[in-house]
Structure 1
Amino acid sequence: MATDDIEPPRLAREQVLTVPDERFSTENVAIVTGAASGIGRTTALVLAHNGLTVCATDVDEDGLDETTDRHADLDLDGRIVTTPGDLTDDTALEAIVEAASEEGTVRYLANIAGIQHVAPMEEFPLEKYDLMHRLMLRAPMVLSKLCLPHMREAGGGAVANMCSIHGHYVTRDKVAYNVAKFGLRGLTQSIAAEGEGDVRAFSLSTAYVKTPLVVNQIADTAENRGITEREVVEDVMLGEARVTELMDPVEVANVFAFGLSKHGRFLDGGDLLFDGGYTLTY
């Protein structure tokens, strides 16, 4: 398999799962981080099509514009409003939640934003480590902290955290990503413990998905391991899986929609392994 074969796919309307839920309506708001590309963008589109008002946020303003353009091109239901912001800035996090609350009742939060850096631990730059943890672990905690009062006042809500198989076991040269994903599972359980059943939380752990984050790490992984890019895809990314293909972002986004809906009401504190048999089989 060549890297050209894993270009992030374009979403088609018929791929979107629609979930019946009376709370999935435009007066209720879902904040989605990382919404300028990949899983974040697709989740924003899927939740909007399910009837919600989506507050799509990302530091990439051009990418957010492309997300709203895609929403219009597909003639999807619901609303998407964009609120650009730097998730490593607490003031920006407060502004994101405030902007979302002006659009309706904040009931849902999907923490999806993430970045990757591939390097051995001895060479891993600490500034990159700190950046990844502010973005992928601290920001989800702060956003959850800010959203909880809105969700409680509304009578309930849910937080969904984008985890990974790297939140179950680790691969080399990804220390910041590994630690962040393990931490997200702890955050998820902490929210569930304090949510008293009204505010739920769950995480979703996938294997490799056709996103820019995955495509962009292939060359670095090949260099660090001394193997070809084809071997990275076939052996590192797919070698342990039973379903030997990379997932599409919409397959992840559809699970988020189901988990956030009333049909996921017993999904509280748990992690959904959605990995093609990668983690629990050999």
Structure 2
Amino acid sequence: MSSVTGHTALVTGAASGIGLACARALSSAGAEVHLVDRDPHVLTFAEELGGIGHVLDLTGSVESLPAEIDVLVNNAGVQHVAPIHEFPADRFSAMLELMLGAAFRLTRHVLPHMYDRGWGRLVHVTSVHGLRASAFKSAYVSAKHGLEGFSKVAALEGAPHGVTSNCVAPGYVRTPLVEKQITDQARVHDIPEADVAEKIFLQRSAVKRLIEPEEVAQAVLWLCDNSFVTGTSLAVDGGWTAQ
């Protein structure tokens, strides 16, 4: 039995990739799961899991979402690849609002319930780019580095209340978010699209493959099951950060 059994979880970016894998893993472990995404397909996946779906743009208010949440997985994210001098300023702000601002608002929204119960799990899916930088990803790297810092603050504040806060930092995951980068990565690096996986995605990874969303979800569950692990970042990056 997992520590999430009988608890209520909320996962953002749950219509595909890591978020959907996390929702499935939490549901299989016995949690009631709220799946949140701006993509209406999230409602279909929620029905399949016996969970509750919410179609919502997280750059706005989160007050319509339930506050009685025991496990929060901040996963929603987008990517834009461009040099800083060509990066649209409004795009930069919107990406930080989604990946960092929304995580703050959701955490703020659910913490009173966690504190009242004396138990809670905050897991933030950051990426290896929360620990390392790559060119042409100024907004994504800034947001993920910020989320790493925010998680540590939440860990310090939450510890007296039985609430842990950690990050999972995967390398390149086999998701639509990664697949959509191929054309832009080829353009900014001036290489053929067929070479992007080897020369960009896996260049700094010792393990030369993409990680699967289900592997990231298992790392999320592991953090939920460990009450003494808090304020840290679990790198699931194939050895990227070992260099």
TM-score (norm. length: structure 1): 0.83
CA separation of 1:88 and 1:215: change in aligned 2, threshold 3 A: same
- Residue 67 of structure 1: how far off its partner (Å): 1.8
Question: In 2, are the aligned partners of 1:57 and 1:82 still within 8 Å (CA)?
Answer: yes
Q: Pick the aligned partner of 2:184 from 220, 226, 229.
A: 220
Partner of 1:21: 2
Partner of 1:67: 45
Kindly indicate whether residue 52 of structure 2 is the aligned counterpart of residue 81 of structure 1: yes
Helix, strand or coil at the partner of 1:265: coil
**CA deviation vs aligned residue, 1:129-159 (integer Å, no higher than 9, x gap):** 1110110000001100111001011121010
CA separation of 1:107 and 1:69: change in aligned 2, threshold 3 A: closer
Partner of 1:135: 98
CA separation of 1:248 and 1:199: change in aligned 2, threshold 3 A: same
Q: Pick the aligned partner of 1:189 from 132, 141, 152.
A: 152
Q: Which letter maps to 1:230?
A: A
Partner of 2:241: 279
Kindly indicate whether residue 202 of structure 2 is the aligned counterpart of residue 238 of structure 1: yes
Q: Pick the aligned partner of 2:110 from 136, 147, 151.
A: 147
Q: Pick the aligned partner of 1:258 from 209, 216, 222.
A: 222
Q: Which letter maps to 1:118?
A: V
Kindly indicate whether residue 81 of structure 2 is the aligned counterpart of residue 118 of structure 1: yes
Q: Pick the aligned partner of 2:33 from 43, 54, 67.
A: 54
Alpha-carbon RMSD across the aligned residues, in angstroms, is 1.3
**CA deviation vs aligned residue, 1:205-257 (integer Å, no higher than 9, x gap):** 11000000000001101011100122210011112211100011000011111
Partner of 1:7: none
Instruction: Name stretches of at least 5 consecutive residues in structure 2 with no aligned partner.
Output: none
Q: Find runs of 4+ consecutive structure 1 residues off by over 6 angstroms.
A: none
After alignment, is 252-261 or 135-144 more displaced?
A: 252-261
- Residue 280 of structure 1: how far off its partner (Å): 1.0
Question: In 1, are the aligned partners of 2:4 and 2:71 still within 8 Å (CA)?
Answer: no
**CA deviation vs aligned residue, 1:182-209 (integer Å, no higher than 9, x gap):** 0010110010010024111000111000
Partner of 2:212: 248
Question: In 2, are the aligned partners of 1:37 and 1:67 still within 8 Å (CA)?
Answer: no
Question: In 2, are the aligned partners of 1:163 and 1:205 still within 8 Å (CA)?
Answer: yes
2:154 & 2:131 partners in 1: Cα distance?
19
**CA deviation vs aligned residue, 1:72-105 (integer Å, no higher than 9, x gap):** xxxxxxx411122110112xx011134xx3xxxx
Q: Pick the aligned partner of 2:22 from 19, 27, 43.
A: 43
- Residue 69 of structure 1: how far off its partner (Å): 5.5
1:179 & 1:228 partners in 2: Cα distance?
27
Identical-residue share of aligned pairs (%): 36
TM-score (norm. length: structure 2): 0.96
May I ask how many residue pairs the two structures share in their alignment? 242
Question: In 1, are the aligned partners of 2:164 and 2:227 still within 8 Å (CA)?
Answer: yes
